[in-house]
């Protein structure tokens, strides 16, 4: 593996579908965040992915692509691919179907650079919640049981509590953290302050900050980094 991803505390998620000036990209890349994920559910194209990758390259921060579709599984110029499976969807395409098509059509996947992620999607209004028709009305115990399946049964290396676009319930993340021992527990959704970063980082191993970069800027991102490192 190219980087020590298991020790990351803070990850920044940038969306190829949104624009940032290079000065802001530079502040993000030098903020102390442990890695930059290039990721979005909707409107990610080879072109806008390559454009964003060029903007973030060259700062020494690890780069990860998180594809929403096999066509987004591009390794050029990045260190790793984090590939989601959504566990709480009734539609198996998002669990293993797209993955089967990926393996069918690409005979040369560099597996040593692939890290599977078990997503538990909890905001039904998010793009990822709508697209996957995730069943989000779950108690902390029910979420923790998905986390247990992900780790103990499927041996996913990452369990990802995803509230994309909204701040989640710390009790849910706490319950998942009590279940997970070996997997790295990710939390993402609505972190837009040092306080929220610190609160979720009590339970999650790695926190993800996305929209706050676009909505509040690099200063807020730096405050979230400082809160967890
Ligand atoms: C098999 C391969 C290579 C890919 C398929 C991977 C799968 C099943 C993805 C399903 C879940 C998904 C769409 C993940 C994308 C990552 C993600 C959650 C991005 C954030 O999404 P939002 O913030 O909701 O969307 P926008 O930012 O586009 O609005
Ligand atoms: O954009 P936000 O709400 O910060 O969520 C981060 C990330 O989990 C989205 O996939
Ligand atoms: Mg987003």
Query: What ipTM was estimated for this complex?
Result: 0.96
Residue 58: CB atoms within 10 Å = 10
Q: According to the annotation, is 85 in a ligand binding site? A: no
Task: Write out the residue range of the structural domain in which residue 175 sits.
Answer: 5-228
Number of domains in the chain: 1
Judged against a pLDDT cut of 90, whether residue 59 lies above it is answered with yes
CB of 124 within 8 A of CB of 130? yes
Residue of 36, 191, 204 with the most ligand 2 atoms within 8 Å of its CB, for mutation:
191
Residues 6+ apart with CB under 8 A from 222: 27, 31, 32
pLDDT higher than 60, residue 2: no
Say how far apart CA 110 and CA 171 lie, in whole Å: 37
Is residue 3 predicted with pLDDT exceeding 70? no
Is residue 15 annotated as involved in ligand binding? Answer: yes
- % of residues, the chain, pLDDT over 90: 98
Q: Is 216 annotated as a binding residue?
A: no
What is the distance between the terminal CA atoms of the chain, rounded to a whole angstrom?
23
Q: How far apart are CA 71 and CA 134, in angstroms?
A: 22
Residue 217 near ligand 2, beta carbon < 6 Å: no
**CATH at 43:** 3.20.20.390
pTM: 0.97
The confidence score (pLDDT) of residue 169 equals 98
């Amino acid at each position: 593996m190219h980087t020590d991803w298991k020790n990351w505390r803070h990850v920044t998620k940038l969306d190829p579908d949104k624009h940032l000036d290079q000065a802001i990209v530079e502040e993000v890349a030098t903020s102390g965040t442990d890695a930059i994920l290039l990721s979005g559910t909707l409107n990610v194209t080879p072109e806008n992915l390559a454009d964003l990758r060029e903007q973030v390259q060259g700062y020494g921060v690890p780069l990860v692509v998180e594809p929403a579709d096999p066509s987004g599984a591009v390794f050029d110029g990045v260190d790793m691919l984090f590939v989601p499976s959504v566990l709480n969807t009734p539609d198996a395409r998002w669990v293993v179907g797209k993955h089967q098509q990926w393996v069918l059509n690409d005979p040369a996947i560099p597996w040593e650079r692939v890290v599977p992620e078990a997503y538990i999607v909890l905001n039904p209004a998010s793009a990822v919640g709508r697209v996957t028709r995730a069943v989000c009305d779950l108690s902390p115990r029910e979420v923790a049981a998905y986390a247990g399946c992900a780790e103990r049964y499927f041996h996913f290396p990452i369990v990802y509590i995803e509230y994309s676009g909204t701040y989640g319930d710390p009790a849910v993340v706490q319950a998942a953290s009590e279940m997970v021992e070996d997997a790295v527990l990710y939390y993402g959704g609505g972190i837009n302050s040092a306080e929220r970063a610190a609160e979720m980082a009590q339970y999650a191993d790695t926190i993800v900050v996305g929209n706050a970069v676009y909505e509040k800027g690099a200063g807020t991102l730096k405050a979230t980094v400082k809160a967890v490192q």
